[in-house]
Structure 1
């Protein structure tokens, strides 16, 4: 399910981590993507609201 193409947030200039697709769910919100984007693992970012708002923006685009 991870390689679903998503719409990039207009203010997001992160170079995602997927070597196969541009702007895919896995490349933008996976654990390795969080760590590359923010410089820390997700468990170290629990108090950073902006991290989870951006994650939610992308995850909400996943099909149900």
Structure 2
């Protein structure tokens, strides 16, 4: 009983680590194909460092 629980827990940990690695790899692949830096697009900052128009619309989703 305990042995099968530990095996299942090990599978869950391996699955979580692989999923996290896949998310990180996908972020870097998308960063390569996105013009500019993907992180600054997600934060709503344009090339000059100022907040873009999309940053203001982020608060509209909270309403």
Q: TM-score range by the shorter chain?
A: under 0.3
- TM score, norm. by length of structure 2: 0.25
RCO greater where, 1 or 2, for CA within 8 Å and sep 6 or more? 1
